[in-house]
Amino acid sequence: KAGVTQTPRYLIKTRGQQVTLSCSPISGHRSVSWYQQTPGQGLQFLFEYFSETQRNKGNFPGRFSGRQFSNSRSEMNVSTLELGDSALYLCASAPLYGYTFGSGTRLTVV
């Protein structure tokens, strides 16, 4: 079966812009989580959605938001981009335990 698909793979944005990243989970998986990975902070949890509801949220400012659609696809949005938002953004889906991660979207803010 297909894995977790994240689009786009690479993105370059300018400070102050906004960006939307997309994640399609494995078919049948209802939980989708987002993580940010940077060299300085490592892997940090952003939020988790389950059946279109945000079930868990990490310690990120309100500029980071997400949503999940009825087909379990998820999007995350970052508004008013800052240089520090440059990172690899990973999406993961799970039936219950043991996440499957996508290849990530590498966002560069210039």
Partner 1 sequence: SQQGEEDPQALSIQEGENATMNCSYKTSINNLQWYRQNSGRGLVHLILIRSNEREKHSGRLRVTLDTSKKSSSLLITASRAADTASYFCATVKTGANSKLTFGKGITLSVRP
Please provide the size of the chain in residues: 110
> Should residue 106 be labelled a site residue for partner 1 when binding is judged by CB under 8 A?
yes
Tell me how far, at minimum, the Cβ of 45 lies from partner 1, in Å: 5
> Should residue 10 be labelled a site residue for partner 1 when binding is judged by CB under 8 A?
no
| Residue numbers at the binding site for partner 1 (CB under 8 A) | 4, 31, 33, 35, 37, 42-45, 48, 55-56, 58-59, 88, 90, 92, 94, 96-104, 106
